[in-house]
Structure 1
Amino acid sequence: MQDDFATLSRVMNSRYSCRAYMEKEVPDADIQAVVTAASRVPTWCNAQPWHLIVTKGDATKLFSNALVKAAEDGPMAPDFDWPEQYTGEYQNRRRVCGYQLYEALGIPREDRERRNEQMLKNYTFFGAPHVAIVTSEADLGPYGSMDCGGFIAAFTLMATAKGISTVVQASVTGFAPTIRKHFDIPANRLVQTAISFGYEDAYDPSNNFRTQRAAIDDVINIRS
């Protein structure tokens, strides 16, 4: 079992948010294997509320075109409200992540044009050949979202174990009405998130930094 722990830890520690991809597509069989394995996560009453729409080829390009147009035309309208604010340690972690990205790309803080160009890459999925839209039944409320969160984490880990890189993108789901219309998603299903994935471009500078994690004493309090 120690070997299992070490193996899973290596996968966990190698996972990161990939922001540049090669054009090569992931075989359907590997996508299905990742989803099958990720579906073993625990859920409330074994509800397994997630459903995925996965794009490839022209479907990815058409979806990207729709998102870019939505981003140019109007404000976001996510199915879930964005956080009201980030404060304290949460704000600090958010800022550090942004600083690391722009430093890796050589984009100075005052260069708003290049920062905006980088932001818009969210809607071309950073060049990923695939994007998975994750939805859940609206009636399941926050518990459905919690279950989907477990699945999303497992998806990224199982993908990493197969040499597939991922990035989970809340920014994409900011345009939920566009997503719902584009894929004909019923009104009773909530757009939870998007996962762009494919094979990393290891030479792109945006993939050359890693975010840090909180110290163990900051996240656990063992009592007796």
Structure 2
Amino acid sequence: MTDAATTLEQILDDRYSCRGFTSEPVPEETIDRILQMAQRTASWCNSQAWQVDLVTGQATAEFGKHLTEYVLGNGMRSDLPAPERYEGVYGERRRASGYGLYTALGIERSDKDARLTQMLENYRFFGAPHVAVITSDAGLGTYGAVDCGGYVATFLAAASSLGVSTCAQAALALYSDGVREHLGIPEDRLIVCGIAFGYADPEHPANTFRADRADLTDVVRRHG
């Protein structure tokens, strides 16, 4: 295995969804390096459907305050259809992930107040000093959203390679109107997700949790 392949494998193995950040800002030049690397993402017909609304500094706190208030006072509405339900193995994986996180945080299933507080941390970006909101052109439909997914994956790996922690957040897309209202995102842009990023708080209990991955036999069908 080449050194480059070893390095990439290590980056992918080490990356996790950070749910507890320090307030230390990421230097602008580091953010720009992440964005430049993410911009190399492959896309359908090189359409590069993604656009990024980058929120940083005091604007992050203001955005979080707005979203928290919006979530508490409004119903969900996402630009992209959210799953109606998680069934079978998808439901099992979702439950296992939630159970593992809440166990790390010491939150009992019956503690509704603590569960609500933790849910709202999504809209405070888990204390991250930066958040990137990823949008796609509405005219590109499903393939635009797929391209944005590739962009997000590259962004996460690029950030990790520079020692920056991340958490991709579909939760932001569940309240698309609240995000659009605050950031002035045009109606012809579909809100795909957010990415909270910054430096991980090593003392935060949420950061001890690691989600597992399915075996290859569960996801790969071989022919020939």
Question: TM-score, normalization: structure 1?
Answer: 0.98
Query: Hey, what does 1:148 align to over in structure 2?
Result: 148
Bigger mean CA offset, 152-161 vs 176-185:
176-185
Query: Hey, what does 2:90 align to over in structure 1?
Result: 90
SS at the partner of 1:55?
A: strand
SS at the partner of 1:41?
A: coil
Work out the CA distance in 2 between the residues paired with 1:72 and 1:213: 33
Post-superposition CA distance 1:58-109 (Å, at most 9, x none): 1001111110111111101110121011111110000000000111011111
Question: Which letter does structure 1 place at the counterpart of 2:37?
Answer: A
Work out the CA distance in 1 between the residues paired with 2:170 and 2:61: 19
User: 4+ runs of 1 displaced by more than 2 Å?
Assistant: none
CA deviation after TM superposition for structure 1 residue 21, in Å: 0.3
CA deviation after TM superposition for structure 1 residue 205, in Å: 0.6
CA deviation after TM superposition for structure 1 residue 198, in Å: 0.3
Question: Which letter does structure 1 place at the counterpart of 2:160?
Answer: T
CA deviation after TM superposition for structure 1 residue 178, in Å: 1.6
Query: Hey, what does 1:31 align to over in structure 2?
Result: 31
Post-superposition CA distance 1:157-193 (Å, at most 9, x none): 0000000000011111211112112111111111111
Question: Which letter does structure 1 place at the counterpart of 2:79?
Answer: D
| RMSD across aligned positions (CA) | 0.9
Work out the CA distance in 1 between the residues paired with 2:77 and 2:121: 19
Question: TM-score, normalization: structure 2?
Answer: 0.98
Work out the CA distance in 1 between the residues paired with 2:116 and 2:181: 26
CA deviation after TM superposition for structure 1 residue 214, in Å: 0.4
Percent identity between the two aligned chains: 43
Work out the CA distance in 1 between the residues paired with 2:163 and 2:12: 13
Query: Hey, what does 1:59 align to over in structure 2?
Result: 59
Work out the CA distance in 2 between the residues paired with 1:170 and 1:42: 21
SS at the partner of 2:56?
A: coil
CA deviation after TM superposition for structure 1 residue 201, in Å: 0.3
Alignment of 1:1-224 (within 5 A): 2-224=2-224
Question: Which letter does structure 2 place at the counterpart of 1:24?
Answer: E
Question: Which letter does structure 2 place at the counterpart of 1:210?
Answer: R
SS at the partner of 1:211?
A: coil
CA deviation after TM superposition for structure 1 residue 15, in Å: 0.7
Unmatched tracts of structure 2, length 5 or more: none
Unmatched tracts of structure 1, length 5 or more: none
Q: How many residues align?
A: 224
CA deviation after TM superposition for structure 1 residue 42, in Å: 1.1
Post-superposition CA distance 1:37-74 (Å, at most 9, x none): 11112100001111111111110011111101111111
CA deviation after TM superposition for structure 1 residue 4, in Å: 1.4
Question: Which letter does structure 1 place at the counterpart of 2:24?
Answer: K
